[in-house]
Amino acid sequence: MVLGGCLTCVKYLMFIFNFIFWLIGCIILSLGIWVLVDEKTFLTGQEAAFVEVAPYILIGIGSIILIVGFLGCCGSIRESQCMLASFFVFLLVIFAILATCGIFLIITRQYIGENIYENYKKSAKDYDTDRYKAVVDTVHAVYECCGYKDGIRDFDSYS
């Protein structure tokens, strides 16, 4: 009888946590749809490229969270082995993707750093064009820094 009470408690705790997870998925999905539909509210100057991609990322992530939360909620309340197995498989796949991304970033961090450095150096050479000037000025303003290696003097030879 004691074990039955513990299992009931675990069942309802799993339902509550997955319901909260499902609500978060609904919020992210609705935010993504809102940004997609009303992009003029979010479209301000330098962030234009990010706002073009962000709604689709939010909709994708919100949809996945919504599905996983739904499977966890319904699977725990109904004690459905099929839904709980699907929930477990989704979580396992998400964990595998995150682990793979983490390992990839650890292995390629040197290349990524060099690539960022070279692109920033190239943008310094193209500083006279309006597009690069706006990007570089925004980076400097946001991160309160100048140049890619030797401060603002990096741009003296290119302007």
Residue at token pair 């961090």: 109
Other C-beta atoms lying within 10 Å of the C-beta of residue 62: 20
Please tell me the pTM assigned to this model. 0.61
**What are the b/e assignments for 77-91, b being 16+ CB within 10 Å?**
eeeeeebbebbeebe
- At 16 the pLDDT is 93
Specify the range with the lowest mean pLDDT, choosing from 7-11, 57-61, 101-105, 139-143.
139-143
Specify the range with the lowest mean pLDDT, choosing from 21-25, 71-75, 121-125, 137-141.
121-125
User: Long-range contacts: 29-37, Cβ < 8 Å, 24+?
Assistant: 29/58, 29/59, 29/62, 29/63, 29/65, 29/66, 30/62, 31/58, 31/62, 32/56, 32/57, 32/58, 32/59, 32/60, 32/61, 32/62, 33/59
CA neighbor of 74 nearest in space, from 61, 84, 85: 84
CA atoms within 13 A on the CB side of 130: 2
Please provide residue 144's backbone torsions phi and psi, each rounded to the nearest 5 degrees: 50, 50
Residue 39 has pLDDT above 70, yes or no: no
Residues 78-135: pLDDT tens digits?
Answer: 988 999 999 999 999 999 999 999 898 888 877 777 777 777 677 666 666 666 667 6
> Which of left, alpha, beta for 80 (phi over 0: left; psi -120 to 50: alpha)?
beta
Give the confidence band of 159 by pLDDT, cuts at 50, 70, 90. very low
